[in-house]
Structure 1
Amino acid sequence: MSNHKVVCWDCGCDVDDPFTNICPRCGGLLTVKMDLEKVKEKKPTDLAKEPIGVWRYADFLPVDKKHAVSIKEGGTPLYSTKALGAEIGIPDLFVKYEGANPTGSFKDRGMTVGVSHAVELGVPTVGCASTGNTSASLAAYAAKAGLKCAVFLPSGKVAAGKLAQAMFFGAKVLSIDGNFDDALALARKMAEERKIYLLNSINPFRPEGQKSVLFEIMDQLQYDVPDRIILPVGNAANIWAIYKAITELKEVGWIDKMPMLTGIQAEGASPIASAFAAKTNDFVAEENPETIATAIRIGNPISGRKALKAIYDTGGYSTTVTDAEIIAAQKLLGRREGVCVEPASAASVAGAKKLREMGIIDRDEKVVCICTGNGLKDPDTIINNCEPIIKCANSVEAVENILN
């Protein structure tokens, strides 16, 4: 394991309290600073002997591998989507399908590291606020680690597939009056009083695991750095994590350029895209975000300022897509490539299509769309937006009439 320290992202001071998620000096966000000097002596090919998955990149992670709480996360497919790329005008288009993780979303990457760190600290109870995927993932990893788990959900706004997972893995599921931001405020208060160890993305160890998706993409492309990586943005930790991974790979000399990080938000929940349009380094929180893409229905993203830095520093872009564009992209990916993703995931594909039409994305770019979650996370949305089941008489002739 590489050495590391936790520092304030805003003022740069060292933070020694392992239970705090904000800087005691300025109230700023925290981040992990890795000491990668020993990694500089290695080459990407040195990873070949390690099993595929998040812990393949242990040299870049701030948790001792011997404490790893793992259910074989990572190792997700990177699809070369020729049919989809031809349709939207980006021939060299790839989709990184995070729905193949154990609980069906990219959250497992962060949670294996976050829960492993909780085990290092010896905490008895972990918790999170969630629109669904985080709660499903934390509940699974807490179960694997033998920890108590509490999840705080916004009232009535969690997809059935995600809620079922949190309940199945044995978490205490609490429906809180209000939206995600209200649920997070309560979870943070519980953490400040040391009642739970908070594992939302404000925890600086969570994004460290999420970095691994970028390492994996580089492995799968044999370190041929793509021109652009597009991903959905909700609470914004994922785009920051990918940016952090890029800077670390540059630091150790494994890559020599940065892909343009491009963040897509739903039109009804778009504080980052609005800030980008205004060319500001900070965002204005939205009080009542609303979108069919529940996983990114967040009006006050914890890592919003970090996300903007990631976009600006890489020459990237941010825009919004409508719910109708999201559903259309979800169907397009499924019916051209056989890949089933939840609505929030499809935002990256919808964004790629829109930005190509706008001329922001050039036809000859190598583009990776990250699709963050499995379509079965939100089966109701799929059912409600597909053609209805066809009633059919029990005869060959009736079937033929329908098929023709």
Structure 2
Amino acid sequence: MYQWNQLVKECTCLRCSNEYVPDDYLTGCPHCLDQGYPVSLQVKYDHQAPWEIDQSARGLFRYVNRLPYRTFPTLGEGGTPVIKVKGLEEDLGLTEVWIKNEGQNPTGSHKDRMSPLIVARAVDLKRSAVIAASSGNAGASLAAYAAAAGIHCTIVTTSQIQDGWEKAIRITGAEIIKVGNSYKRWEIVKQMVENQDLYPATNYHIPPVGSNLFGVQGLVTVGLEIAEQMSHRMPAAIVIPCARGDLIWGIWAGLTEAIRMGWIKQLPRLYAVEPFPRLLHVLSGRDYREEFEGDSNLLPSIGGTTVTYQSLYAVTSTGGTAVVVSNEEVGNAQNSLARKGIYAEGSSAATYTAVSKLVQSGMISQNERVLMVITSHGYKGV
């Protein structure tokens, strides 16, 4: 059995601020959902109890006082580097650029920060298996951590899944179910969660809420790490690949906690990178609950036709915006990063083009420090 964190106090809605006892709210805030607004909840901790980084630990275990579980299955996740890459500043027209490389997690993506906590929760609830709807990274990660914990895993995907990802999932012993489209994946997950008592890692509500709320707490450690690693040289802007906003919200939450703790003084602007206008349309006045059509064939990790409240919240509360990077621009971005020694998945390499566009538009000034988040390495063949 994995150890629950007794400092967890409540779950709070991002939109209405209603407080709930800690539990699994798989479709988000009950109050907002009744009003027709799917909104995710965040885990709140007892702020009266002081906490410190565990300097003797590495990775996620440095921040167990701000995670829902103090123990969980581990493959060595977290603790990814923040690095400067020679020549990147000249390419992008900036004086200082840094990279947070989440591709150095065990299965090669930031999803490895979520999976241990999801699996720990499933085991704690005595569920026999975990399940996710995934195009690749989340499925490969969840399958690996389920195997490490000795529980079954089912991944619902489409026939378009890349061979590298499919092999990474199957080789762990996980089951793969292929369906016709992304929405069908969510239907299958919903049925199996409600009828077979599987524990979900990913969203299955339409419009979406976000991934499992306990899993998303693992992404808060990205923000905490950035604050710890860059406390004396905090970036003015952070550019982040974005689908349904788990990572950009996690970074926001971690940096907000770092401000509360006095580690940093102000929030950087957060910029969401997307393959076609979704969040960008919402920022211009459209309802975040709508569907947004576009092509994301070369960017499956940030694909999809929907937006979440949590991504909107993270961007607007920091004065950021969304940046669109097309399929056609991804190849050049991958090549440019690879020539600097960083082999990134296309969805991650999109941050390179996004930064360039932000500089050219004047949204990021040339003398500002910028951090690019690389979410996944390119070795899965995407």
- Tell me the TM-score normalised to structure 1 length: 0.85
Q: After superposition, give the CA deviation of every residue in 1:250-282 in whole Å (9 maximum; x if it has no partner).
A: 223322200100001113xx3112222x14562
**Is the aligned partner of 1:107 residue 2:137?**
no
Aligned AA (2:88): L
Whole-angstrom distance in 1 between the partners of 2:92 and 2:161: 31
- Tell me the TM-score normalised to structure 2 length: 0.89
Q: Provide structure 1 residue ranges, at least 5 long, that are not aligned to the other structure.
A: 382-404
Provide the residue aligned with 2:174 in structure 1: 171
Percent of residue pairs bearing the same amino acid type = 28
Provide the residue aligned with 1:84 in structure 2: 88
Q: Which moved more, 1:203-212 or 1:116-125?
A: 116-125
Once the two structures are superposed, the pairs formed by residues 124-143 of structure 1 within 5 Å of their partners are: 124-143=128-147
Provide the residue aligned with 1:394 in structure 2: none
Provide the residue aligned with 1:230 in structure 2: 239
Provide the residue aligned with 1:31 in structure 2: 41
Shift, 1:164, TM fit? 1.2
Q: Which moved more, 1:289-298 or 1:29-38?
A: 29-38
Question: The residue matched to 1:128 in structure 2 has which SS?
Answer: strand
Decide whether aligned partners of structure 1 residues 359 and 187 sit closer, same or farther in structure 2, where only a CA change above 3 A counts: same
**Is the aligned partner of 1:6 residue 2:11?**
yes
Shift, 1:36, TM fit? 4.3
Q: Which moved more, 1:19-28 or 1:104-113?
A: 19-28
Shift, 1:329, TM fit? 1.0
Q: After superposition, give the CA deviation of every residue in 1:75-120 in whole Å (9 maximum; x if it has no partner).
A: 1121212311111111210111111100010000111222122222
Task: Report which of the two has the higher share of helix.
Answer: 1
Provide the residue aligned with 2:205 in structure 1: none
**Is the aligned partner of 1:158 residue 2:161?**
yes
**Is the aligned partner of 1:97 residue 2:101?**
yes
Shift, 1:48, TM fit? 6.0
Q: Is the 8 A contact 1:15 1:23 kept in 2?
A: no
Aligned residues: 365
Shift, 1:320, TM fit? 0.3
Q: After superposition, give the CA deviation of every residue in 1:275-328 in whole Å (9 maximum; x if it has no partner).
A: 22x145625213565331111111124xx2211111111011212011121211
Once the two structures are superposed, the pairs formed by residues 379-390 of structure 1 within 5 Å of their partners are: 381=382
Which one of 49, 55, 63 corresponds to residue 49 of structure 1? 55
Whole-angstrom distance in 2 between the partners of 1:5 and 1:118: 19
Q: Is the 8 A contact 1:264 1:273 kept in 2?
A: no
**Is the aligned partner of 1:256 residue 2:265?**
yes
Question: The residue matched to 2:87 in structure 1 has which SS?
Answer: helix
Decide whether aligned partners of structure 1 residues 22 and 218 sit closer, same or farther in structure 2, where only a CA change above 3 A counts: closer
Aligned AA (1:146): G
Provide the residue aligned with 1:183 in structure 2: 185
Whole-angstrom distance in 2 between the partners of 1:160 and 1:256: 45
Q: Is the 8 A contact 2:10 2:43 kept in 1?
A: yes
State the Cα RMSD in Å.
2.0
Q: After superposition, give the CA deviation of every residue in 1:24-51 in whole Å (9 maximum; x if it has no partner).
A: 4442433233224256x45xxx536232
Q: Provide structure 2 residue ranges, at least 5 long, that are not aligned to the other structure.
A: 203-209
Whole-angstrom distance in 1 between the partners of 2:76 and 2:56: 13
**Is the aligned partner of 1:116 residue 2:120?**
yes
Provide the residue aligned with 2:380 in structure 1: 377
Once the two structures are superposed, the pairs formed by residues 218-367 of structure 1 within 5 Å of their partners are: 218-267=227-276, 270-276=277-283, 278-280=284-286, 282-286=288-292, 289-301=295-307, 304-335=308-339, 337-367=340-370
